[in-house]
Structure 1
Amino acid sequence: MTETKSALVTGANKGIGYEIAAGLGALGYTVGVGARGEARREEAVTRLRDAGVDAFGVPLDVTDDGSVAAAAALVEERVGGLDALVNNAGISGSREQLPTTSDLDVIRTVVETNVLGVIRVTNAMLPLLRRSPSPRIVNVSSGVGSLTRQVGSVGNDSAGPVAVAYSPSKTFLNAVMLQYVRELDGTGILVNAACPGYVATDLNGFRGVRTPQQGAATPIRLATLPDGGPTGGFFEDAGVVPW
């Protein structure tokens, strides 16, 4: 008899995070729906359960040490360990992010969620991940965090708008991921970054051209990699994203 696998998805009450939870649930995972707001979190859990997913709510504010510690305790109580952690929660910050007129508080807030929040959650969940025979960590990044694409975008806007808080936060996140890869080398924990593409979510005012289901495809694939799969990579549907 195959033991049921478990996953925690942060920011899973809506958008890409919800679809990642739904996709993992459809593959037979028990899924923790991590989110701050109780009403939307429980609504998401109900929808997932109605679709046949074994889902449970995890109150989680990635910027708060106490909240993250409580979330780890809840996940341990509910499923005993963790096979996959998908760090999806993220914010974009204010609409205008020109570096010459930037609000430093906005940059700090974005980094606190998009980078420090990932470190905080990952470290809290690592003891649970280490109990899995095939643990996976996926950080939902963005192509706008690619330095190659940023350099190549000069004059043609191919890497999105100028966003001194959001875009560098994803570059920072990618660099942090590589540090985890180096430290966890040889442990069997595969750590990768996923670019979901330009997905229509409230993060971008629903201006994206891809659906949340499409955006969830690469994170789901990376969360379910077989043993011996890649680690330390930056991937999108089309393949490898340049650093």
Structure 2
Amino acid sequence: MSSEYATIGVVTGANKGVGLATVRNLALQYPNSNFNKGPFLIYLTARDVGRGEAAVSQLNEDSQLRNANALRAAGGLTDIRYYTLDIAQKESIQDFAQYLKTTHNDGIDFVINNAGIALDGFNADLVRDTLHTNYYGSLNATYAFLPLLKLNGRLVNVSSEAGKLSKFSPSIRSRFLSARSVDDVTVLMEEFQAAVEEGREKDAGFPSAAYATSKAGMTGFTTVIAREEKEKGSEVLINAVTPGYTNTDMSKGNGTKTPDEGSRTLVLVALGDIGKQTALFWQDERPVEW
């Protein structure tokens, strides 16, 4: 199958919202991108088979894609395929990574790791579940996908502006920014969990917010891994991106951006001309402080 496609991309958590819009806009923008060297395959992943397959069917009937003749069935360049992936389950990540390695032995071009959860409420159990998916699951996915990328590949971890460091005490903020290993960031997540269990997270310098802290951790480990890869001489570009406050189920429909608007920075960092920029946090199509 590798010889059939010139470019191969993956979008996780893509059955709805920003993930679904990202797949659509990748297909629309690919023909005019520097990555365009021929047929393009996008893996749309989701936890639920029914919802994932329904999302692929929806895209195959999408008016924007049809009008642009973007899909190969209409003479375009892009195929979209579903694969089951639950980043909260290490075995699921390993299964997908092994499939990609076996099926595309020349490597893949990019991964947009959009999968994540946002749960209502705040208590120790909710914090544990949120960190398990958004931090540890995303970290496991990053380590699994990274070796599969081509020499000039890209890894885009979808974080959030909610995880900006202004929500943390100066000492915790400093520790995030000075982290030199993933372990340094993981220790911060462990300290947050322990502080919540003891009811003292604010005294420890953390917000009473599981999602925000998990996303700060995601941005933290992403920038650390990116710096490590660059120091090894790797040309793979690894960045964290926020779609912004987008009108999706995750924002309970309260977001100010449409899913298409939210997908813009994700698509730019995956397909666009961003030079050699890596280890950055992107918002509104440019790198910003986090």
Q: Aligned to 2:162, what secondary structure does the other structure show?
A: helix
Runs of at least 5 residues in structure 2 that lack an aligned partner in the other structure: 32-39, 66-70, 72-77, 170-206
Q: TM-score, normalised by structure 2?
A: 0.72
Q: Which residue of 2 aligns with 1:155?
A: none
State the 1:178 CA deviation: 1.6
**Distance (Å, rounded) in 2 between the aligned partners of 1:232 and 1:211:** 27
The runs of at least 4 consecutive aligned structure 1 residues that moved more than 4 Å come to none
> Residue 143 of structure 2 is aligned with which of 112, 123, 134?
123
State the 1:58 CA deviation: 1.1
Runs of at least 5 residues in structure 1 that lack an aligned partner in the other structure: 98-102, 152-161
Q: Which residue of 1 aligns with 2:26?
A: 24
Q: Aligned to 2:234, what secondary structure does the other structure show?
A: coil
Q: TM-score, normalised by structure 1?
A: 0.85
State the 1:229 CA deviation: 2.5
Q: Verify the 8 A CA contact 2:244 2:257 in the aligned structure 1.
A: yes
**Distance (Å, rounded) in 2 between the aligned partners of 1:93 and 1:236:** 23
Return 74-83 or 27-36, whichever deviates more. 74-83
Return 69-78 or 116-125, whichever deviates more. 69-78
Q: Which residue of 2 aligns with 1:136?
A: 154
State the 1:122 CA deviation: 1.5
User: Highest CA radius of gyration, 1 or 2?
Assistant: 2
Q: Which residue of 2 aligns with 1:148?
A: 166
Q: Which residue of 2 aligns with 1:62?
A: 87
Q: Which residue of 1 aligns with 2:53?
A: 42
Q: Does 1:206 align with 2:230?
A: no
What amino acid is the match of 1:113? T
**Distance (Å, rounded) in 2 between the aligned partners of 1:224 and 1:214:** 16
**Distance (Å, rounded) in 1 between the aligned partners of 2:108 and 2:19:** 17
Return 140-149 or 209-218, whichever deviates more. 140-149
Q: Aligned to 1:54, what secondary structure does the other structure show?
A: strand
**Distance (Å, rounded) in 1 between the aligned partners of 2:286 and 2:272:** 15
Q: Aligned to 1:184, what secondary structure does the other structure show?
A: helix
Equivalences for 1:45-194 in 2 at 5 Å? 45-50=56-61, 51=65, 52=71, 53-80=78-105, 81-94=107-120, 96-97=121-122, 103-129=123-149, 132-148=150-166, 164-185=209-230, 186-194=233-241
Q: Which residue of 1 aligns with 2:14?
A: 12
Q: Does 1:233 align with 2:284?
A: no
CA deviations over 1:178-229 (Å, ceiling 9, x no partner): 2211221120111111111110111121111110000000011001244742
Q: Aligned to 2:152, what secondary structure does the other structure show?
A: coil
* Identical residues among aligned pairs (%): 33
**Distance (Å, rounded) in 2 between the aligned partners of 1:232 and 1:239:** 13
Counterparts in 2 of 1:79 and 1:22: CA distance versus 1, 3 Å: farther
**Distance (Å, rounded) in 1 between the aligned partners of 2:265 and 2:14:** 16
Q: Which residue of 2 aligns with 1:218?
A: 265
CA deviations over 1:115-170 (Å, ceiling 9, x no partner): 111111121122211xx14210111111111113667xxxxxxxxxx751011111
Return 231-240 or 29-38, whichever deviates more. 231-240
What amino acid is the match of 2:59? L
| Aligned length, in residue pairs | 225
CA-atom RMSD, angstroms?
Answer: 2.2
